Structure 1
Amino acid sequence: MMRPWILSLLFAGCGALVAASVTVSGKPGTAVPLLLLFLLLAVLHSPLVFPRSVGAEEAQRRSAADGRPVVYWRPGCKYCLRLRFRLGRSARRLHWVDIWQDPAGAAAVREVNDGNETVPTVVLAGRPHVNPDPAWVLAQLGG
């Protein structure tokens, strides 16, 4: 599925175009940092920075078994990125559901957000929390 990668591909493509135009205009020393900046943005907005996503039903089953929260997210969401980076290594302890890859996950988010796909939506013990403070999520993990 290409949808999660569209933003990353746009950043990489725009970076290549900008770097090429700067190089052609006679400033190759400026082109390299610009290209690296765009590539960094491409990686940050890709699914690569998030732990492996599972389906909504699997995440709910795992959460019921181990009590860990389920995080519904999508690539390119700055609030999801903020949550992911503030959680650090603890992010692996949550169950992540990419709503762009899982229609059941998108439906679950719409159900608790008045029809909107507002992410991140963290579900803990059956209660949804929309865009929670990362410190709160860490406290729920006991770390």
Structure 2
Amino acid sequence: MSTPPANPYPPVLYATRNLWKPHAPPIPYLTAPGTIPEPLYNLSSFISNSINSVRYVRLPTSSTFAEDAEAGLHSSNFNLAENIEASDSRRGLDEQARQEVHRIMKVRKVGFDEARRMYMEERFGREGIGRDGRPLDRKAVFFS
């Protein structure tokens, strides 16, 4: 069974649209003069609002260094006191990383430094980065 041939008319119609468009009948509510009827306008605004509400995603609120320090996410090697004293405006760990580090500390019974190292190695692995910090991609090119 063969497939029907492609329709050659759409490209021709598009290319010659300036010739036939003035003679084509108007499309209601799109080319008709006047305002858009109220029910259609309400439907249009409802659809655009629902699409925009789906597109809108609230940015995650990251914790500050002070909150991370209070939660026990610091150590002598990873000292947050200097950042807190300097009123550093940077954010601390995001909520997902914070929960994951807490989970590693609790499940594996390790300190913050070890849990942070394990979390970063796992995250690097997901991103295609080896334990030594180099890409795992064999085609990667290094310049030194």
Q: Report the TM-score when normalising by structure 2.
A: 0.26
- Which structure: larger Rg? 2
Of Structure 1 and Structure 2, the greater strand share is in 1
Of Structure 1 and Structure 2, the greater helix share is in 1
Q: Which has the higher contact order (CA 8 A, sep 6+)?
A: 1
Q: Report the TM-score when normalising by structure 1.
A: 0.26
